[in-house]
Amino acid sequence: MRILSWNILQGGGKRAANVAKTIVDANPDVVILQEFRHGSSRSVLQGAMESAGLVHVYVPEPESNRSNTLAAFSRLPMQGSVFSPSDDPSPATALAIDLQLQLPGDSELSIIGVHLPHKKKQLPYWNALLALDPASRTKNSLVVGDFNCGIPFQDSETKTFYATQQFQSFLQQGWIDSWRSRHPKEREFSWISTRKGNGFRYDHALASPKLDAAISSIEYDHQPRELGISDHSLITIDINDERL
């Protein structure tokens, strides 16, 4: 199984077509997109996903076609809902989604897809993530997406992350930064500031120990960012289905 996560910086016309082609060429089984919009490009993207066999779709309804939200597409049967912080009961738009995927047999895969806001607005979402049922860490569970967060000087070239303490607390609960666990001394950046040229690894895949043990590879694809298709690199996560 291949999971693809990407902040697509959605635009119309040619950009949407390039985003769709990039995703289809990667041949994923599950796709989680951030900065997805309900405008004219939605039909381009959703049509391409469904033509590629990703026929199970979950997209929350935004306030308007100009509002960013998340979208999920899957070859596997999937149920989705908005992941809303309890201390932020009326978020302006859906910035996190909760997905339940039915795997072959009787097992399930739980995915929370995120596009966390900046600075203090992150905190309700971190509070909700930190309050997840501990049982989720004993199952096949994944939190993935654009966190706008990380650990300074490991995941960035400057000390600019706001919620590093919460990020580290989440890892201390037992969640595993699957890319970092395989590249303990390396730095790769999924977003580069156009103003200062500083790099940041904003995009993460944080897995339960059970799921992390089934991950055969996790990589960033920087080419779409370098080509200007989006301003973020995408993540692909390959999972050995026999170990789920």
Is residue 155 within 8 Å of 171, Cβ to Cβ? no
Low-confidence winner among 8-12, 14-18, 46-50 (lowest mean pLDDT): 8-12
Give pLDDT, residue 216: 98
pLDDT band at residue 92 under the 50/70/90 scheme: low
What are 61's two structure tokens?
Answer: 């309804």
- pLDDT tens sequence across 189-232: 999 998 888 999 999 999 999 999 999 999 999 999 999 999 99
**Tokens representing residue 178 in the block:** 């699957």
User: 44 vs 86, which has greater pLDDT?
Assistant: 44
User: Model confidence at 179, in pLDDT bands (50, 70, 90)?
Assistant: very high
Polymer length in residues for the chain: 244
Q: Kindly report the average pLDDT of the chain as a whole number.
A: 92
The domain spans of the chain are 2-243
Q: Which two tokens mark 163? A: 């919620």
Q: Convert the pLDDT of each residue in 148-169 to its tens digit.
A: 999 999 999 988 899 999 999 9
φ and ψ at residue 169, rounded to 5 degrees: -65, -35
Report residue 14's pLDDT band, with 50, 70 and 90 as the boundaries. confident
Give burial (CB, 10 Å; 0-12/13-18/19+) of 228: exposed
Task: State the architecture of 2-243 in CATH terms.
Answer: 4-Layer Sandwich (3.60)
Question: pTM of this prediction?
Answer: 0.95
Query: For residue 22, what are the CA distances in angstroms to 38, 56, 157?
Result: 20, 19, 28
Dist CA 180 CA 169 (whole Å)? 16
Strands 215-221, 176-177: pairing kind: unpaired
Q: Which pLDDT belongs to residue 65? A: 65
- Residue 182, pLDDT > 60, answer yes
| Structure tokens that stand for 240 in this block | 């050995």
